[in-house]
Structure 1
Amino acid sequence: MPAFSETCITQSAMTPADRTALEDAGQRFAALTAANNADAVRAQTMPQFAQDFGGIAEAIRTAAPKLQGASFVRDTLWILDASTSKPGADGSAQDAQFFCNLNGGSLQTSFLIPALPAGRYALVVLNTAGTTEPYQIAMLLRQSTPGTWQMGGLFPRATTAGGHDGVWFWKAARDYAAKKQSWNAFVYYNEAEQLLKPVSFLSSSHLEALQAERSKSAPPALSTGISASQPLVIAAKGGAEFRVTSLEALNAPAQTGLDLLAHIHTEDAVSDPVALRARNAAAAKAIVAAYPELRSAFHGVWIVADLPNGTTFVSEEPMSAL
């Protein structure tokens, strides 16, 4: 489905009335999220999302413990005006694309939101203050009446991992790339992007520069990415193969550094916990044996085995055991 370019207004170009209304709405929804008050948020949510509220409710439940005692500080605001967008020939909402030039310069932020009904939207991003670990809440809001904004999407997330922010991970990734440690660099670039990107449908000049660096330094086996449909196949001793679908950084327990988190795809119906634990341990050993540079960057390895019945089996291996 084609994406139509709509109008974007940055916070510096907004009217004072719009800026105030958005800040008030953001603070209200953030406070309700911190209070784990999903019912109150649902009452102020766009009708189509209020009917299918499970995703937003789960985001509230997960984020609420992280937000206890927090106050919220504005990070940035955007108005995304799709009032004139037209539905497709079958009546369905089309994808909407917004391009936002920052301060009239060459730097740009863009948004590509799938199946967006016509309307006037905003993205509100708030950071926490007064919490042990920094946290961020992004909200996609839709204007129902002038000055009144409804919830359309809630995206809470941590902005640090292992005590470090996205810029730190970006610099560390560059250092690993310079040392030709391309596997460490790949994971650190990915973590930098996750920590710097408030929502999945946002892109920017800075993020594009990060992605270009990651592509340039990526190991050949990862040059086209890694996913469930395109796994990284690692052979272990004895003929076993493990299909790795993601590699990420993860906070190590008790703030002892960073762990490597790897998802593996499995097709056999093993249910015995002892056998599952042994397979996860073998997968961790195979990953580190194939790419020994990982020892210098991570405290241990967590394996998440995605099982055929839709469940997962998770276990940790300290690097000293691999």
Structure 2
Amino acid sequence: MLKQRTLKQSISATGVGLHSGEKVTLTLKPAPADHGVVFKRVDLPDTPAMRVDPTAVNDTRLSSALEFSGARVATVEHLMSALAGLGVDNVLIELTAAEVPIMDGSSGPFIYLLQTAGLAELEVPKKFVRILKPVEVIDGDKWAKFTPHHGFKAEFTIDFAHPVFEYSGKTVTIDYDSQSYVDEISRARTFGFMHEVEYLRANGLAKGGSLDNAIVLDEYKVLNGGGLRYEDEFAKHKVLDAIGDLYILGYPIIGQFTAFKSGHALNNQLLRALLADDSAWEYCTFENDAHAPVGFVKQRDYFSPAPLLPA
């Protein structure tokens, strides 16, 4: 049986918010079965616990931000991606400020935290959302869609008018059946352009951004001294973001996600379009491994002998 997962013990880390620039402490705590992924702002008095939900996403400017009862939690996608990548169903996430720390701009440090805390199985079946028919959203030349697939597969294509993207891979596909999220996706960092920095900061964004937590490009090249971690790191980061955005659904998805130039807004619109059509999806569990998608069985069985060290 594929069972729900939580953490063995609590673990904390401190960093800065990418957009706010504020110092923030993140604490991940074990949670019981069917608790889900829940955020709590411990810096605010009497703040309710906030379970992730696509309808709670109220801001998608360069990140996914949730708001519940007036309490905001921004830039959740990298942490959500790590939780999805390791199959964590239940966790309480406490924050001392309004934004999840950016760490190094990837989900790698969150993978490290989760592996260090350890994962524990709960004696309750893991619940999935299975895609039953195609669902698509379109915005100009951008689009994103779900199609039925017995497993989880994501394919993302980017298109930027910049010299670096001429030799960096523009399309990335990850299939849980044959590839590892931790190895193939988790270390891909967020990226941005120098010419956008002034505009972003004038609009209250990217105040905490630096070469330590993002790939930065000028008109011709990557400015980071170490270069890229993957040849196709830009496209891989978009997949990382999408996996995190989709996990705001609250359940792992059995299906294929395909996108062209999609972002946080379109990813969220796709989730809302899916939920709006009851005939397009269903909940399911797997009492027998033989009937479960291979990729999710592998994900359950994945335990690194030592924690993945951050780069």
TM-score class, shorter: under 0.3
TM-score (normalizing by structure 2): 0.23
Q: Which has the larger radius of gyration?
A: 1
Structure with the higher helix share, 1 or 2: 1
- Write 1 or 2 for the structure with the bigger share of strand: 1
